[in-house]
Structure 1
């Protein structure tokens, strides 16, 4: 990680995201290897000596303490002089917007306010690395969006080096400078949100974002890739030998529909507000196409043709016949 960067660990439950945070924080001991922060090996240091802050999914606030006392708990544990502690408390309470709530108890706060108290309690200790373990998971959708914006603004304002854990793709895309995609304890790809979405390293990463179409196509001698089921032709590829099978990722929003007699049938239509999601079927194969709702609407049962520009396609080195189904991640 770079100083001041926000990196998100993204992956399904059980992939190792939270364990990674606990290892860095010193709450778990690694079997091998080292953990370095700022170029210093901290693998064998005690938790307080690592100077990292960890905000949990459950706020873990002391119910018998006021907001101010909850936030100042870490300062008291570190023996920070009273005058300095009071100054830092005033400062962080203003930064996170908790003025006027200092004397309230956790039971008197909303979910968003409690999350800001938990965040302030960590920030007031001035950690070298801020880590957040799915901090918004227990909040409703609208509050999650508002707190994501608040956290990103605060992180950039303070220049905090931050490691964020989530299984929510939208959260990762909105917050991150870079995303580390994990699966079964392995790091699959570390890259910018744009690169992760448009240039995934493997089908497993592609499936974590949106609803990609993963199709089999055959290379032709004249530099095309052809998917015979949906009549798709991508020109100017030269990606494989003539007749070779390759895997192609096509995002639903990159595809276009044309009214045309043929074997491809619109089998489903879902209105999403700004867009319409079509499901197409032919010869037992399925394809998803997402188009602006302002365009002329196709009807269920209508036959269509599908087209796409080569720039919108992403090829994987493995042949499509080796792709295995993967469950979707919400």
Structure 2
């Protein structure tokens, strides 16, 4: 039985990824930033095969903790960067844990032994920090894939900028270490939708769906999305977990970064779908998933699937209040 270490295991994507590896018969070493806050990760203990789950405390800023975490792992999944839209101090809240944490992690890889594969959960921000709007120079009818020149703007949201720089850091490491004896593969999800496995109330992904469902705009970024009726590229969180798993177990993917995307809907139609109603428009393909389908063998769900799941579950919860 092989062991996978998952950094960020109790988050929205991380929980589904942890579930996927447990279901596939792996031992999972799961990291949490504060082990005393059991309410943030206790849902992992109810997953199938949870007897093969070990939960340890880890902060990516601590190199010694990172070294200890990597010890004994055959696969490492790094998805432990903060995803938040409300930001007071971008450097402290986003740039340091995302960029410096990635640098620390890469440094630890130089001394780790027994590692066969490393998977980074990057972001669509690695390709376009303007997301959900198109990169400068492209229009609403253009498509984007892994061959597009990555775009970054200082005007973009700090989260997207941090993920872009972190991904560039990974690519630089790969170029500077051509003789490493393990593979590094990244996956870059677009807007991740679906139901969380936990009842945590601090999930940005779940919160974003709630905002779209109720047409709430708590900040200028969300207000801009409504005002432009942006076409938002979406992907099912279960497909993201599948993508992480397949990137981890399949060989020959070193240096690749796969866009994980289903289809795009205008945010007005996303709101309608989240309320269980019929959309006025139709889905488009903006971020192409051909490479992920070809190399990872993923058949992506329509974005309607996770939106409907969220809509139905929120409706059920409301009736039981």
Tell me the TM-score normalised to structure 1 length: 0.27
Q: Which has the larger radius of gyration?
A: 1
More helix by share: 2
More strand by share: 1
Tell me the TM-score normalised to structure 2 length: 0.28
